[in-house]
Structure 1
Amino acid sequence: MGRIIFDTAATLNGWIADEHDSLSWLFAVPGGEVPDPELLPSTAAVMVEGRTTYEWVLRESDILAHPEKWQEFHGARPTFVFTHQELPVPEGADIRFVSGSVEEALPAIRAAAGDDDIWVVGGGDLAGQFFDAGVLDELAVSIAPVTLTGGAPLFPRRVESDRLRLESVTAIGQFARLRYSVAATVRSS
């Protein structure tokens, strides 16, 4: 069984999107428009994202009019989108909409991934739901040299240091890459 990884970019002060759910701040950073392959989880067979992230990706790259752009980032990987709304699907994309909890959707997500990893792309609250369910294995953050005054927080949960173990710190271009393993919770009976 593969790992579940929340891998994202964030500002120095902990935002993953600005007040308008935009990542334009990220694309303005040298290396942000076309990320270094070292900044992406290459072992992920499945991607997971929330409605806001999905809609932003569709809008930002005009993917419905240019469906080939979907493949540039997502490739042929199945992408699970958590939403309660009916949303458009780019031609040729393997999109699977789910509306329940992480626990309810996890068997289908794991089945699609097989023995490979699952990449939770965004947002932070969705990644937090995987953490709350006790199934998040890794938190990887590429910190950009940008600060914002508000927006979507990186990980809107309180997580104590006993749950995170620093695995690596790497400088990749203008980004500081931090990888933490997430310790499993001990459930009492």
Structure 2
Amino acid sequence: MTRYRFFTAVTLDGFLADEHDSLDWLLSQPTGEESVLPYDAFIADVGAIVTGRSTYDWVQAHEGAVEGAWVYTEPTFLFTHRAPAGVPEGITVVSGPPAEHRVAIEAAAGGKDVWIVGGGDLAAAFARAGMLHELFVSIAPVTLGAGKPLLGGRFDLELLETGRNAGFLEARYRVVEARS
């Protein structure tokens, strides 16, 4: 069965990005070798990626992207209502509810996991559709006071595992259900 996983970092006060969609707070944090779920082990199980437009734009501007290319090799589904010009190869632009694209996403994943790269509202839409199984959060020792929240909505989660990576507290949760 394909698992949908939201693997992300968040500030101690629950924000993925500041109010300008910046992740500068994250890039200034020290990381270590120890982790409950090391990135290399995580990405080895990923067959497809799902992202929103703000996250896509940030990655393209900051992650050493080559002009006209995407930094990930896995097939990617970009959920947006405003398609970017010159979409790199390997990215499928979609809009609408996640359930409308489930068959295509899972076919692209080829039996492996789907990584919901971001953002929080997109991850929440997947959770409400019953398409978010796990949430893995690295909690940074920094606060922003405002910004983009971890999840846009109310959900019950079950804590499965905790750990530490340098200054980050790590927590892995199972998504139980959306709250009304």
Residue 121 of structure 2: SS of its match in structure 1?
A: helix
Letter in 2 for 1:172: N
Structure 2 unaligned segments of length 5 or more: list them: none
Partner secondary structure for residue 55 of structure 1? helix
SS of the residue corresponding to residue 46 of structure 1 reads strand
* Within-5 A mapping of 1:8-19: 8-19=8-19
Partner of 1:148: 144
Instruction: Look up the match of 1:175.
Output: 168
Give per-residue Cα distances to partners, 1:18-40, cap 9 Å, x unaligned.
010010110000129x9977146
Matched, 1:165 2:158: yes
| Map of 2:22 onto structure 1 | 22
- Report how far residue 57 of structure 1 moved: 1.1
Q: By how many angstroms is 1:88 displaced? A: 3.5
1:105 Cα shift? 1.2
1:63 and 1:90 in contact (8 A); partners too: no
Kept in 2: contact 1:11–1:148 (CA 8 A): yes
Identity of aligned residues (%): 44
Per-residue deviation, residues 106-126 of structure 1 (Å, max 9, x unmatched) = 111011012110000100000
Which secondary structure does the structure 2 equivalent of 1:119 belong to? strand
Aligned partners of 2:79 and 2:66: how far apart in 1?
A: 19
Inter-partner Cα distance in structure 2 for 1:44 and 1:25:
26
Who is 1:48 aligned against?
50
The answer as to 2:52 corresponding to 1:59 is no
Aligned-residue CA RMSD in angstroms?
A: 2.4
Greater strand proportion: 2
Q: TM-score, normalised by structure 2?
A: 0.87
1:132 equivalent in structure 2:
128
Shift of 1:165: 1.4
Residues 44-77 of structure 1: per-residue CA shift (max 9 Å, x gap): 111111011001111224625384xx43xx2x10
Structure 1 residues 56-103: Cα deviation after superposition (integer angstroms, max 9, x where no partner): 111224625384xx43xx2x1011110122214465x41111112111
Q: What per-residue deviation string (whole Å, max 9, x for no partner) do you get for residues 102-155 of structure 1?
A: 111111101101211000010000000001111211111000111002110011
What SS does the aligned partner of 1:183 have?
strand
Instruction: Report the AA paired with residue 129 of structure 1.
Output: A
Q: 2:46–2:114: 8 Å Cα contact kept in structure 1?
A: yes
2:114 counterpart SS class = strand
- Which residue among 106, 111, 115 is the counterpart of 2:111? 115
**Contact 2:157–2:177 (8 Å) recurs in 1:** no
5+ residue gaps in structure 1? none
The total of aligned residue pairs comes to: 175
